[in-house]
Amino acid sequence: MSDQTQNPVYVQLDQPEGVPPLELTGERTLPDLPEENYWYRRHLVVYKWIAERLAGKRAVDMACGEGYGSAVLAEQAAHVTGVDANPEAFEHAKAKYEGEKVSIVRDLVQMYREPADAVVFLQTIEHVEDPAGMLRHFASMLEPDGEVYVSTPNLLTLAGPDAEKSDNPWHVKEYRAHEFRELCEEVFADVTIYGLFHARKLRLHELVIRHAGWDAIHKTLRISKLFYDRFTPAISERDFRLEAEPGADRLDRALDFVAVCRDPR
């Protein structure tokens, strides 16, 4: 599985005519890269889960990046606006995904303020200097009974139990479960936290690494590259599972936290 903090060495493959491919920098994940498939699927499963909750609604996908998430949300939503300030990501997303149900806007997420039934902000709050202020901005955009969806990686599984931060240079603050809940509940009265976990072959792979020393074995046998060249592109959304409000010990083992936030204070 690729590490998003590595130096950029990969460029998207097989893009539609007229769509400029994006280079993997570690700032955002990308589809159409076999080496990045683990991270892409890990994010995609959450987008698909949110999409099922957006039927007939107007949504804003903040910091939409490459744009694939906005397109996934639009499979169910009435309309989705993807917002991103990066010029390369904006040009790519607009060329690849804009259509009847998807609009792509180049703007700072803290400046865009069109009303919406749902605001989606995935894997980005850890990049923000004023996260509570950002959540208040999203809350101000909501129509009555609207929801904000926020996800972030779990510091404990991203960087380890003794670390205060991973080495990802794009991240400002990485969260433990209780820190993320406290942040969301500072702005919203009704917050449900989900945990994202490995399932199926990723869960088996995790157990083999933990209990059988698989990493050391295949490195000794010099089959690491051969194995992961086949294993990583085969990962799908079914190899992840979302659980609602798992116990504290269980949530501490989650890969990512996903908050559904309602009722702004």
Say which CATH number the domain at 241 has. Answer: 3.40.50.150
Say if 1 falls within a structural domain.
no
High-pLDDT (> 70) share of the chain, %: 92
Measured CA to CA in angstroms, residue 264 lies from 58, 140, 185 at distances of 18, 8, 9
Say if 176 falls within a structural domain.
yes
Supply the pTM of this predicted model: 0.92
pLDDT of 212 higher than 90 = no
Cβ distance 177 to 184 under 8 Å? no
Mean pLDDT of the chain: 92
pLDDT of 217 higher than 80 = no
Say if 86 falls within a structural domain.
yes
Q: And the tokens for 157?
A: 């599984």
Cβ distance 79 to 97 under 8 Å? no
Q: And the tokens for 264?
A: 């702004």
Cβ distance 135 to 184 under 8 Å? yes
Q: And the tokens for 240?
A: 């992840």
Cα–Cα dist 142/151, whole Å: 18
Confidence grade of residue 220 (pLDDT, cut at 50, 70, 90): low
Confidence grade of residue 187 (pLDDT, cut at 50, 70, 90): very high
Burial class (CB in 10 A: 0-12, 13-18, 19+), 192: middle
Which pLDDT tens digit goes with each residue over 56-79?
Answer: 999 999 999 999 999 999 999 999
Q: Please, what is the angle between helix 177-187 and helix 131-141, to 10°?
A: 40
DSSP classification of residue 98:
-
Cα–Cα dist 217/157, whole Å: 22
Say if 196 falls within a structural domain.
yes
Say if 11 falls within a structural domain.
no
pLDDT of 6 higher than 60 = no
Range(s) of the domain holding residue 232: 34-264
Say if 215 falls within a structural domain.
yes
pLDDT of 136 higher than 80 = yes
pLDDT of 45 higher than 90 = yes
Say if 19 falls within a structural domain.
no
Domain count, the chain: 1
Say if 118 falls within a structural domain.
yes
What integer is the mean pLDDT of 28-47? 96
pLDDT for position 3? 44
Confidence grade of residue 49 (pLDDT, cut at 50, 70, 90): very high
High-pLDDT (> 90) share of the chain, %: 82
pLDDT for position 4? 46
What integer is the mean pLDDT of 198-213? 84
